[in-house]
Amino acid sequence: MALKIEQTAGRTIGRRQGKRAVTHGTGRRRRSGLRPNVLVGALLVGMLVLAGVLAPLLAPYPPDQIQPALRLRPPSLEHPFGTDAFGRDLYSRVLHGARIALRISLLSVLLAAAPGIWLGLLAGYHRGWSEQILSRLMEIWLAFPGLLLAIVLVARLGPSLDTTVIALGVVGLPSFYRLARNGTISARHALYVEAARALGIGQTRILLRHILPNLASPLIVLVTLRMGTMLLAAGGLSFIGLGAQPPLPEWGALLATGRDYLDTAWWLAFFPGLAFTLSVTGFNLLGDGLRDLLAPETREGTAR
């Protein structure tokens, strides 16, 4: 019976709020239109996803195939990005590096978002002494430079791709916590939450079914922006030898190898750097455009 009342009340409130939201959202989209940064960002991110998913089909050679007779060959029709010091096809290695880039971005963001959002929901809903302690802890956490903290964690756990993902996930957790906490504080006294609480709906159901969906827009924006940040940070760790280890074709590791050949084989650093630039730019443009379309009020809140 309580479930039927909840559904009826939710539909009534949802219709009223939905009509206002649709009217406001439609008018805003008519005024702004689909922004160019969203299109360009979606195109660049789509290219990254396609390159990662279809790398085994698009790569003309295995990424670790050594051909000493073809070492340090410049770009040509046979090898569009040239070859490295071991004769490996750089085009194939960059394509397979896209798979690693997607893995790092997705897993590190998921590792940061899942506990960060849940802790933020709980802290914002209860607002007790535990929330104050947790919030102060997150502020101390954010006081440390993110990349420096990731370096310390990776150095302690040992350099590898998995430890890089764990370190970046730990570093990114406070951002999701703060966003979820602030959104929950704003929504905990809303009419639909009060109605659900009065009907005896459990805390978990209120958080996941009533509050979390209202945070979807800013969370999507933050996830998109963070994916570019995580990718860039992972490349930096690999560049200094603390990320993915050879022979994995991670872009940061490819850049680290290419810096020793800048005078004689420029393509070894140019093409991995170009892949980095386009991918991070794509995530940033897409996130910035989604912020304008979905959650313009969070422009300053998610800029960190």
Give the pLDDT confidence of 85-112 residue by residue, as tens digits.
999 999 999 999 999 999 999 999 999 9
Instruction: Give the class (CATH, top level) of 34-73+80-298.
Output: mainly alpha
Helix 90-126 vs helix 216-239: angle between axes, to the nearest 10 degrees?
Answer: 130
* CB atoms closer than 10 angstroms to residue 33: 10
On the question of a cis peptide bond just before residue 62, with omega within 30 degrees of 0, the verdict is: no
Q: What is the tens place of the pLDDT at every residue in 8-56? A: 444 443 444 444 444 444 444 444 456 788 999 999 999 999 999 999 9
The answer to whether 43 and 86 are in contact (CB under 8 A) is no
Task: Concatenate the DSSP letters of all residues of 141-161 into one string.
Answer: HHHS-HHHHHHHHHHHH-SSH
The answer to whether 41 and 282 are in contact (CB under 8 A) is yes
pTM: 0.80
- Give CA torsion, residues 91, 45, 278, 50, to 10 deg: 10
On the question of pLDDT at 2 being above 60, the answer is no
